[in-house]
Amino acid sequence: MNLFTHVNATTIAEATAATAKAGTAPIAGGSDLLTYLRTMCSPNAPTNLVNLKTVVPSMAYIKEEGGFLKVGALTTLTAIANDSTTLAKYTALAQAALSVASPELRNQGTIGGNICQKPRCQYFRFDNDDFKCLRKDPAGTCFALTGVNTYHSVFGPLNGCVAALPSDIAPVLVAMNANIVTTVKTWKAADFFVVPNVADARREQINALAAGEIVTEIQIPTPATGSKSAYMKWSFRKSIDFPLVSAAVLTTVAGGSVTAASIVLGAVYGQPRVATGAQTALVGQAINATSATAAGTAAATGTTVLPTPGGTNSNSYKVQIIKVMVQKAVLATA
Amino acid sequence: MSLVAPYTVVNDPKLHDPMAAMIVTGRLDFPDDRLAGRKLWAAVKTSTNAHGSILADAGTITAVNVGNAGSAYTSAPTVTFTGGGGTGASATATLSATGTISGITLNNAGSGYTSAPTITLTGGAGTGATATVAFTMGKLHIDTAAALAFPGVRGVFHAGSFPAGSSAAGAFATSWTNYGVVIAAVVADDWETARWACNLVNVTYNSPLPVVFDADAAMSASSPLSGRQATGNVTTSTQTRLDAAGNGAAYGLAHCDKTMQFTTDWTPTQQHNPIHPKTGLAYFTGDPGSQTVQGTGDCYGFSVTQNAMSHLNSLYSSVNMPQQQTHYSAHACGGGFGDGESTVQMSMAAVLSQALGGAPVVLKLSRKDHNHIGGRQYDTKGVFNIGYNKDGTIVAWQGGWYGNGGGASGMWYGPRTTYKIPYIDWTAYNIYTNTPARNSWRDVADIEGGGAFERCFDLIAADLGMDPYALRQKNLMGVLDHDQDGTKLIWSDKCVNDCLAQAYSASGYATKWHAPNTKTLPDGRKHGIAIGGRQDSHGGMSGGGRYGHIMMGGTHTNGSVEMYMGGSRASMGPQAAMMVVVAEVLGLPYSAVRLAEWGNGDITLADGMQNGSSHTPGAGSAFYMAALDMRTRIFNRACGLAPLNAVVPAGVTQAKATAVLSTVFPGGTIASFTITNGGSGYTGVPAVTISGGGGTSASATAHVTNGVVDSIVVTNPGSGFTTVPTVVISAVTPDLLDAANGSIFLKSDSTKTVTHATCTSGWDPQISVAQGWGSYLRTAAVGDSPIGSACNSTGAAAACIEVAVDTNTGEVEILSYVNATSTGTTLFKPGVQKEMMSGNEAGIGQWLFYGDVYDPTTAAVLQMSHGCFSHPTAMDLYPTANTYIEVQHNSPSGPLGCHGMAEPASGEGNVIWQAIYNAIGVFPDHNHGAGSPNVILKALGKAT
Ligand SMILES: Cc1cc2nc3c(=O)[nH]c(=O)nc-3n(C[C@H](O)[C@H](O)[C@H](O)COP(=O)(O)OP(=O)(O)OC[C@H]3O[C@@H](n4cnc5c(N)ncnc54)[C@H](O)[C@@H]3O)c2cc1C
C-alpha cells in the first residue's frame, strides 16, 4: 500500500480546500482508489486522501428536479440500479449501474468515483510501477501497443495510450447528454471525458477535471417523449467483470421512425466513443433488425486491430462484438 | 462406528513422539504471548525482468574442501574449476597412502569470480571423490541505504548479507531465469512500511538475456536458452507399452483399420495456489546462532501447509539448527486450487529472525510476489498419431505430450489408467521457457491431459460416425482389470466406469447427443453436449489437511481432546465430521472434543472447500488414524490406573520388574529395568507404572513377544530419585479395553472403569499426528487381489455437460453440468457436495473465463486465472444447471470404505470444451490464453 494520510471532510468547502493541496485526492467508495494504492502501481499516487462520505449535507441522493435526474456524486451504484424512476425513465443509467462489478462493489462504489476511476490496463496497474507506462510518466512507453492488448482499444491509441475506457457509467452519460457538476463548473459529459495529454500532470485521468476539482452531482436531462435508452455490456463473465465492449443508446421515435439517436461505445477506446456513423444510419429508420444491424455495422467501421505478439490473443473480437452490442442496444430501445 | 480396522496403521513413528519437533497446530496467528507487540514484518524485493543477474564485484575463492575422499586412486586426480564467471583458479589434490584424497591445495585463487565455481576431479584411476569451493562473495550492487534510512525499517538483507554458500544466502537470488524472484527482504515495524521500503532498495542488474517466451520457439535448435536447464530448453521422458513379442506403437499403427493425426492447441495456464498469500513466522528463544555457528537456543516457526514435514525440514535447514531445537507449527491447508502455502515465507522469516538476533519476524508476500513465486500449471499440447479399428477399438497411440514448464509425463496418466490401449509409444517434452516457475497440476480434471486426449476420442468418434460415449465404453478398462503397466495389482476401486455411467444417465445423454454442429436451438444458438471422465492420479490420500493432529493430557486435564484442523472457512462441516470421528474412536462425548482451528481452503466465497489433492472431507482418515493412536496411548495409561491395574485377566500371568538407578553423575534417574518375571499370556502392551523413590516424571514402555514381556525401554529417565522406585507392570492390556461416554472400561467387566479425565490428569502432553492412509493396502479382497496386497487407490470422476453457444458473440451458456465423482463412502455429505460445487466453478472458470497472461518481453504475470476478481465464484454457477452425483462405493483401500475425492472434483472442465466442439464442430484454439468467448469467435472465423 502506498503510505497516505486520511482526513474526513465535513463540508464540501473543507473537502475543496483540502484537495487543493498537491498530492491530495478525494476518496468516495474507495473501490478503485484503494486497489490502485494497494498495488503501489504509480509514482503519481496521492499521499493524502480526503473522505467525501463524511461531507454534510450528504451527496448521496437521486431526485428528479427541473427537467433533470439529479444524482449526487456519492450515490452508490446499488442505489442507482434499484431506483425505480431511474430504471423507468433513464433506463440505460440503471442498467449500466447494475452491470458494474459485483453486488459488494456496487454497494461500495459511487457514481462520482466511477467516472473518475483510473485506467485498467494491466501494464498501468502492475504492482510497484514495474512497467514505466506512458500514462504514468511522459517518458514512458505504451507497453500494450506491442505487448498484451487483448482488452485494449480498437480505435487506435489516444495520446499514445491504447488502454480502453473502464467505466460503465461514462458512455451512458455521454449518450444521455448529461451535465457533470463540480466544485468549479458544470461540464457537458462529452467535454468532461476528454483525456488529458501525457505531458499534462493529469495524464492518469480518464476525464479533464482540474486538480482539486470535485464532482458533486450528475444531471441527466429527462428524455423527450418517445425516447428510450438501453445499455448493453459484454464481458467474459456475467458475474463480475469490467466491460470489454459496451453500447449506450438513446433513441427518440416519432411516427414510427427514429428522429434522434445517440449511440456511444464504451471500453473500445480511451474515452467514450460516439458512433456518429451508426447514429446517422439509424435516424429516419424504424427500429428493427435491419436498421439495428446497419447501425451495428456502422459503429464497427474505422476500427484498427492492434498487432498481437505470438502466444497472446488479439483484440479483434471487439469489432464483432461492437456490431452485436449496438444492434442489441438499439433493438432494446424499440 | 465400527472400530475394527482390518489393516495396520503405518505411520512415521517420529510423528508420535511427544518430544518430536513437529507440532502441527493450527493457529493463523501464532498463539504465543511472548510475541505480543514484538513482531516485526518483512516484505520482499523481487526481480523485474525474467532473465538477469545482479552486478557483483568479483569474489574470492578462499579454499577447496574435500567432500568425499573417494577410493582406489593410484595418482592424484586433476582438479578443474568451471563456471562462476571467473578464470585462472587452480588447485592440486594430494593422495593418502590408502588411495583416498587427503586434501586439496589452492594454488591460485584466480580472478573475476562472481559466484562459487564448481569443481570436478578427473583421472587418477579412482572413483567417488568430490570437493567444494569455499567462496567469499564479492560486493553485490544492491544499495540498501535509502531503505535502511526509512523510518521503521529494522534491516535489509540479500544474498551478500550472509556467508557465501550458506542456506540464507541461497534464499536470495543473485541471478535468475524468472520474473519476480526474491532478491532482498526488508524487515520493518509493520508490513506496509516493509513493503514500501522494498521500493527503495536499488539493484543494479546485468543486461538481461533474451526472454524465451514461446514454448514452440523454445524447442527449436536455434532458440536462445532460458537457463532453466543445464543444457537446452527441453527434457524428455518416454513410456512404451509393448505386446509380448515386443511390438510397440509402430506395429499397432500398421495393424489397425485407420489412423488419425492430432495436434491440439496450447491450453491456458492456471494458478495452482491462488488464494491470498499467507504469512510465515519465525522467532528464536535463547541464542539463535548464525548461518555458520549453531545456536544453543530454540527456533520456532509457523507456516501454512499441506505438507508439514517438508516445511519443518526447510525450517531447520534454513537456519542451520538441529531438528530437536526447531519447533514447528502449521496451519493445515489444502493444495490444488486451495490455499497458498507459505514455506518460502517461513524459512525466509527464520533467516531474517536469526539475522536480527532472534526477533519474531512475520514474512508476507504481496499478491504480485505470490503470483510469481507460487505454483502455476503449465500450458500443454499434444501431438498424437492414434490407430483404431472401425468398431472404435483404440489400437495404438504414438506421440508427444508437451508441457511448458515440465510435468508433461503427468499428463498421460489419465488415458493410461482409464482406457485399454495395447500399444503405446509416448514422449513427454518438458519445455522450459522464462515464464514463471511451473508446477504440473498433472492430468486431472483439467486443461492438461484431459483436454488433450478427450478431444481425440471425440474426433475419432466423429470420424467413425460413432457416439463418443459408446467409443469410450468400448475402450474402458474393466473394473477388475489389472494395472496395465505398474507392479500393483488391480485398482482398489476403479470407479470411473461407474462415474461415466452415472453422468451418462443423469444427463439424458442418450437422447440429447447428436453429431457435431447439427443442432440449433429455437433462439438461434448452437446446442452441444459431451461426456468425459478418467481415473485420477491421486485421491488415496485423505484427511483434514492431510495431517490429523490431536492432543490430550498436558493442560487438558479434564479428559478432553483438542483437534487441530485446516479445512474450509466457509463451512464447519468437515471439522464437525472429523470431531465426531475422533470422539467415537476415543469413546468421548462429542462435547469433550475441542476444535483448535478453523480452515482456510475455500475456493469460493459462497461454496467453500477447495478441491485440491489433500483436503478431502469425504474421508478424513488422518483424524481417524490419529485418534486410533491416541486411543492406544490412553488405554495404555488406563491399564496402569486403579481399578484396572488390579485386574488380572484370565490366562495372564502378571509380569514383574525392578528399576535400576543411574550411577552416572548427577544420578537420580532411571538407567534401566530388570525383568524379574516376564509373565505370560499378554495379548497387548501393558502399562508400566513407576511410583515412589522420591523422583518424578520417569516413564517406560514394555515390549511383548509371544505374550511375554521381554524388555522395558526407558522413555523418560525422570529425575530426583533417591531410592529405587516401585515398578508395576499391568496385567490388563489396551486390547482388553473399550471406551464410551468419557469412560474406559474392561470389555469383560464393564464395572471396572477409569474416566478419561482421570487418565489425562497429570499426563504429559500427548500428541498424535497421523497422515491419511497413503500406502494402499487392501482391506477387502477384490477380484484376485487378496486383503493386504498393494493396490492403486485413486479418485475418479466424469462429467456430462450441455452448452448453448451464441455464434455471434462466442458466449457459452452451461445448460447442464453433471459432475459425477467417486467419493468412496461419503462421511460428510454437504462437504462432499461442496467440493464438487467448487469443482464445477473451477471448471467453468478455467474453460470459459481467464487463464494466466504473461507479458511477452518480461514474462511477468499480467493477469491471473484465479486472482482478484477473475477468481471463479458461486456467482458463476448456473444454479439450476448443476447436478452433483456422489458415486458411492465401499472403497476396499481404506477403513470405513472411504477414500479421498482428489482433484477430479474439479468437475472435468475440459468437457465444456468438448461440448463446444459438439455445438460448433470445431475445437477453439486457446493460444495459451483463456478459454474465453474471443477464442470461440476466432474458431468461428469472426475474429482473428
Ligand atoms: C474487482 C473490481 C471490479 C470492477 N468492475 C467494474 C466494472 O465492471 N465497471 C466499472 O465501471 N467499474 C468497475 N470497477 C471500478 C470501481 O469499483 C467502480 O468504478 C466504482 O464506481 C468506483 O467508485 P468509488 O466510489 O469506489 O471510487 P473511489 O475508489 O473512491 O474513487 C475512484 C477515483 O475517483 C476519484 N473520486 C471519487 N469521487 C470523486 C468525486 N466526487 N470527485 C472527484 N473525484 C472523485 C478518486 O480520487 C479516485 O481517483 C471495479 C473495481 C473492482 C475492484
Give the nearest chain A residue to B849 (CA atoms): A236
B44 and B120, same structural domain? Answer: no
Record: contact B944-A40, CB cut-off 8 A: no
Residue A101 Cα: closest atom of ligand 1: 5
Asked whether residue B648 is domain-assigned, the answer is no
Each residue's pLDDT tens digit, A288-308: 999 999 999 999 999 999 999
Contact assessment for residue A265 and residue A299, using Cβ atoms and an 8 Å cutoff: yes
φ/ψ (deg, to 5) at B805:
-110, 125
Record: contact A234-B366, CB cut-off 8 A: no
Out of A40, A127, A148, closest to residue B855 by CB: A148
Instruction: Identify the pLDDT of residue B537.
Output: 65
- Whether the pLDDT of residue B177 is over 60: the answer is yes
Give the nearest chain B residue to A235 (CA atoms): B933
Asked whether residue B40 is domain-assigned, the answer is yes
Asked whether residue B309 is domain-assigned, the answer is yes
CA distance A238 to A92: 17
A300 lines ligand 1 (CB under 6 A): no
Instruction: Identify the pLDDT of residue B843.
Output: 81
Domains identified in chain B, total number: 3
Q: Which residue of A116, A187, A234 sits with most ligand 1 atoms within 8 Å of its CB, as the best mutation to test the pocket?
A: A116
Which one has a higher pLDDT value, B378 or B314?
A: B314
B429 and B331, same structural domain? Answer: no
Each residue's pLDDT tens digit, B597-651: 433 433 332 333 333 444 343 345 667 778 888 999 999 999 999 999 999 999 9
CA B579: distance to chain centroid?
Answer: 24
Residues of chain B with C-beta less than 8 angstroms from the C-beta of A305: 944
Each residue's pLDDT tens digit, B746-783: 999 999 999 999 999 988 778 777 765 555 666 677 77
Contact assessment for residue B268 and residue B846, using Cβ atoms and an 8 Å cutoff: yes
Which one has a higher pLDDT value, A135 or B830?
A: A135
CA distance B681 to B708: 7
Residues 6+ apart with CB under 8 A from B503: B509, B531, B533, B798, B799, B800, B818, B819, B820, B885
B66 and B39, same structural domain? Answer: no
CATH of the domain at B536: 3.30.365.10
Q: What is the mean pLDDT of residues B279-291?
A: 90
Enter the DSSP assignment of B77.
P
Single-letter residue type at A83: D
Residue among B306, B313, B318, B341 at smallest CA distance from B328: B313
Enter the DSSP assignment of B764.
P
CA distance B338 to B602: 6
Residue among A55, A70, A273, A261 at smallest CA distance from A153: A273
Expressed in angstroms, the distance from the first to the final Cα of chain A is 48
Asked whether residue B725 is domain-assigned, the answer is no
Contact assessment for residue B332 and residue B565, using Cβ atoms and an 8 Å cutoff: yes
A110 lines ligand 1 (CB under 6 A): yes
Residue among B542, B374, B410, B387 at smallest CA distance from B464: B387
Nearest-5° Cα angle at B390, B384 to B395: 45
CA distance A96 to A80: 9
Contact assessment for residue A147 and residue B859, using Cβ atoms and an 8 Å cutoff: no
CA distance B326 to B300: 6
Contact assessment for residue A226 and residue A333, using Cβ atoms and an 8 Å cutoff: no
Which one has a higher pLDDT value, B597 or A212?
A: A212
Residues of chain A with C-beta less than 8 angstroms from the C-beta of B846: none
Asked whether residue B248 is domain-assigned, the answer is no
B318 and B386, same structural domain? Answer: no
φ/ψ (deg, to 5) at B868:
50, -130
Instruction: Identify the pLDDT of residue B37.
Output: 67
Poorest-confidence range of B332-336, B408-412, B428-432, B797-801? B332-336
Out of A123, A309, A317, closest to residue B934 by CB: A317
Asked whether residue B897 is domain-assigned, the answer is yes
Q: Indicate the pairing of strand B593-595 with strand B561-564.
A: parallel
Confidence label for B571 from pLDDT (cuts 50, 70 and 90): very low
- Whether the pLDDT of residue B441 is over 60: the answer is no
SS3 of residue A170 by DSSP: helix
Nearest-5° Cα angle at B619, B616 to B625: 115
CA distance A220 to A81: 15
Which one has a higher pLDDT value, A129 or B311?
A: A129
Q: What is the mean pLDDT of residues B693-703?
A: 92
CA distance B488 to B789: 8
CA A228: distance to chain centroid?
Answer: 20
What sections of B603-670 are H helices per DSSP? 621-639
Confidence label for A319 from pLDDT (cuts 50, 70 and 90): very high
Each residue's pLDDT tens digit, A74-83: 999 999 999 9
Instruction: Identify the pLDDT of residue B489.
Output: 59
Q: What is the mean pLDDT of residues B792-813?
A: 90
Å from CA of A30 to ligand 1 middle = 7
Instruction: Identify the pLDDT of residue B895.
Output: 59
CA distance A38 to A42: 10
**DSSP annotation string for B173-189:** -SEESSTT-EEEEEEES
Q: In the A/B pair of chains, how many CB contacts fall below 8 A?
A: 114
Q: What is the mean pLDDT of residues B184-207?
A: 94
The pLDDT > 90 percentage for chain A reads 97
Confidence label for B17 from pLDDT (cuts 50, 70 and 90): very low
Rg for chain B, CA atoms, rounded: 31
Residue among B520, B759, B469, B764 at smallest CA distance from B639: B759
Instruction: Identify the pLDDT of residue B567.
Output: 45
Residue among B350, B345, B305, B306 at smallest CA distance from B327: B350
Q: What is the mean pLDDT of residues B79-96?
A: 92
A contact test, residue of B848, B855, B878 with most A CBs within 10 A: B855
Distance from CA of A121 to the nearest CA of B (A): 10
| Mean confidence (pLDDT) of chain B | 83
Asked whether residue B269 is domain-assigned, the answer is no
Instruction: Identify the pLDDT of residue B545.
Output: 41
CA A165: distance to chain centroid?
Answer: 6
Residue among A205, A186, A182, A208 at smallest CA distance from A12: A182
Whether residue A307 lies within 8 A of chain B, CB to CB, comes out as no
Nearest-5° Cα angle at B794, B790 to B797: 155
Contact assessment for residue B550 and residue B563, using Cβ atoms and an 8 Å cutoff: yes
Sign of the Cα torsion A133, A135, A138, A143 reads: positive
Enter the DSSP assignment of B915.
H
* Residue ending a domain, choose from B337, B364, B391: B364
Poorest-confidence range of A47-61, B320-334, B465-479, B659-673? B320-334
Give the nearest chain A residue to B806 (CA atoms): A324
CA distance A310 to A147: 10
A133 lines ligand 1 (CB under 6 A): no
Confidence label for B569 from pLDDT (cuts 50, 70 and 90): very low
Residues of chain A with C-beta less than 8 angstroms from the C-beta of B809: 234, 320-321, 324
Give the nearest chain B residue to A233 (CA atoms): B809
- Whether the pLDDT of residue B578 is over 60: the answer is yes
Instruction: Identify the pLDDT of residue B723.
Output: 95
Give the nearest chain B residue to A234 (CA atoms): B809
B330 and B463, same structural domain? Answer: no
Asked whether residue B281 is domain-assigned, the answer is no
Residue among B720, B676, B722, B725 at smallest CA distance from B700: B725
Å from CA of A206 to ligand 1 middle = 12
B441 and B529, same structural domain? Answer: yes
A contact test, residue of B211, B365, B934 with most A CBs within 10 A: B934
B428 and B332, same structural domain? Answer: no
Confidence label for B684 from pLDDT (cuts 50, 70 and 90): very high
Q: What is the mean pLDDT of residues B591-599?
A: 67
A73 lines ligand 1 (CB under 6 A): yes
B121 and B83, same structural domain? Answer: yes
Enter the DSSP assignment of B339.
P
CA distance B164 to B154: 23
Instruction: Identify the pLDDT of residue B704.
Output: 96
Contact assessment for residue B241 and residue B421, using Cβ atoms and an 8 Å cutoff: yes
Record: contact A3-B196, CB cut-off 8 A: yes
Instruction: Identify the pLDDT of residue B791.
Output: 72
- Residue B475 grid coordinates: 475402450
CA distance B478 to B266: 32
Residue among B387, B322, B383, B375 at smallest CA distance from B344: B375
CA distance A241 to A233: 10
Using CB atoms within 10 Å of the CB of residue B383, give its burial: 0 to 12 exposed, 13 to 18 middle, 19+ buried: middle
Q: What is the mean pLDDT of residues A309-330?
A: 95
Contact assessment for residue B148 and residue B210, using Cβ atoms and an 8 Å cutoff: no
Distance from CA of B58 to the nearest CA of A (A): 29
A contact test, residue of B48, B198, B869, B925 with most A CBs within 10 A: B869
Instruction: Identify the pLDDT of residue B309.
Output: 65
User: Which residue is it, cell 529494522?
Assistant: B154
* Residue ending a domain, choose from B101, B136, B171: B136
- Whether the pLDDT of residue B29 is over 50: the answer is no
B327 and B181, same structural domain? Answer: yes
Q: What is the widest separation between alpha-carbon atoms in chain B?
A: 95
Instruction: Identify the pLDDT of residue B609.
Output: 34
B131 and B79, same structural domain? Answer: yes
- Residue B903 grid coordinates: 482433484
Instruction: Kindly provide the ipTM of the predicted complex, given to two decimals.
Output: 0.95
Record: contact A313-B849, CB cut-off 8 A: no
Give the nearest chain B residue to A309 (CA atoms): B856
Å from CA of A32 to ligand 1 middle = 4
CA-closest residue to ligand 1 atom 19: A114
CA distance B588 to B734: 16
User: Which residue is it, cell 456422489?
Assistant: B886
Record: contact B927-A311, CB cut-off 8 A: yes
Instruction: Identify the pLDDT of residue B621.
Output: 64
Each residue's pLDDT tens digit, A129-144: 999 999 999 999 999 9
Confidence label for B10 from pLDDT (cuts 50, 70 and 90): very low
The pLDDT > 90 percentage for chain B reads 50
- Residue A93 grid coordinates: 443509467
Residues 6+ apart with CB under 8 A from B626: B548, B549, B550, B582, B768, B769, B770
Helix axes B343-355, B308-318, angle to 10 degrees: 20
Residue A261, CA distances (Å) to A95, A173, A249, A284, B46 in order: 18, 14, 7, 10, 52
| Mean confidence (pLDDT) of chain A | 97
Q: Indicate the pairing of strand B423-431 with strand B394-404.
A: parallel
Record: contact B938-A234, CB cut-off 8 A: no
B388 and B507, same structural domain? Answer: yes
Q: Where are the beta strands (DSSP E) in chain A?
A: 5-8, 24-27, 48-51, 62-65, 68-72, 179-182, 186-188, 215-221, 227-234, 245-254, 257-266, 273-274
Contact assessment for residue B662 and residue B669, using Cβ atoms and an 8 Å cutoff: yes
Residue among B620, B843, B636 at smallest CA distance from B759: B636
* Residue ending a domain, choose from B336, B364, B392: B364
Residues in chain B: 944
Residues 6+ apart with CB under 8 A from B781: B787, B892
Residues in chain A: 334
φ/ψ (deg, to 5) at B496:
-60, -30
- Domain holding B920, by residue range, is 379-540+787-939
CA distance B536 to B542: 14
Residues of chain A with C-beta less than 8 angstroms from the C-beta of B364: none
B893 and B868, same structural domain? Answer: yes
Confidence label for B865 from pLDDT (cuts 50, 70 and 90): confident
Confidence label for A329 from pLDDT (cuts 50, 70 and 90): very high
Confidence label for B12 from pLDDT (cuts 50, 70 and 90): very low
**DSSP annotation string for B371-419:** HHHS-EEPPEEEEEEEEE-TTS-EEEEEEEEEEETS-GGGGGHHHHHHB
